[in-house]
Amino acid sequence: MKQTARKLGLIGVGMAATVLGFIGIVVPVLPGIVFFAIAAVCFVGASERLRRKLRSKRHFRPYFERFDAAQGLSEWQRIKLAGLLSVSALTAYVRRR
């Protein structure tokens, strides 16, 4: 029960962060990249399948390795990661339509 509540909470926060990220693209005062990063962390925390899938992609693997090693990401890497996540989410959305 706790695991399910945690997953639902992470998914809810991830969805809210995604919406704020898209708003941040349009509104220059809102940092969209930060919200996309928060959404990514929430979604990966909620889904082991998504974590494995992203780790298997060559574009995302270096980010996970640095994150796991607790080295953090530079600002350029965060921007690049947010862009990759946005493009991936958009293409996944378009494919389902």
pLDDT tens-digit readout, 24-47: 878 777 777 778 878 877 887 787
Average pLDDT over residues 4-11: 83
**Domains identified in the chain, total number:** 1
Tokens of 35: 């919200």
CB 40, CB 81: distance < 8 Å: yes
State the residue range of the domain holding 19: 2-96
Q: Give CA separation, 20 vs 41, 46, 80, in Å.
A: 15, 19, 18
Sign of the CA dihedral running 9, 76, 94, 26? positive
Its pTM stands at 0.54
d(CA 44, CA 49) in angstroms, rounded, equals 8
d(CA 48, CA 31) in angstroms, rounded, equals 27
